[in-house]
Amino acid sequence: MANLSECKATPDDGTQEKEKGTPMDRLRTHLVEDYDLNPSDLPKAIVVHETMGIFWMGFVWFACYQVQPAKALAQPLKRHFPGLARSQMFSNALKSAEKTVEKRGWLKAIPGIRHADPPRLIVSLAESALIRNLGRPITVPLKLYLTWKVIEFCKKAS
């Protein structure tokens, strides 16, 4: 009696050839053939991707400093829960962080931060970290796509 696995017909469309090799080989083949990316594009892609990340971080931090989302969300809570107050632990942590910011002389050299309110700066940094982490499922693929488009544009331009 014949083994069933020997009787299966496999299509000869070349898909088996692509699936051979290590996962890294398959990824390399996919990037080179489908997206026209080469290993020499990697340093440019890293610079573009990280630059977008730094600008995104700065933008969200600035927006949180201006808008103050925690304060805006806390206002309705204060009306409904008048006994709700800032905890002592939070106040102590904020004072400690404020002292740390005051010690950092290099922060005073940055024009936009020189006259910023340290507690507000710290809270806005925490708010921006939370917002960026919540948005990561959208922003990471978007940054990868935009990086690919920038590299593609640079290849066409040169």
pLDDT tens-digit readout, 14-28: 555 555 788 878 877
Residue 127's contacts (CB-CB under 8 Å, 6 or more residues apart) are 64, 68, 69, 70
DSSP 39-85: GGGHHHHHHHHHHHHHHHHHHHHHHHHHH-HHHHHHHHHHHH-TT--
Categorize the per-residue pLDDT at 1 as very low, low, confident or very high, splitting at 50, 70 and 90.
Answer: very low
pLDDT (average), residues 71-93? 71
- The pLDDT score that the predictor gives to residue 34 is 79
- The pLDDT score that the predictor gives to residue 87 is 67
Structure confidence by residue, pLDDT tens digits, 105-152:
666 677 777 777 778 888 888 899 999 999 999 999 999 999 999 999
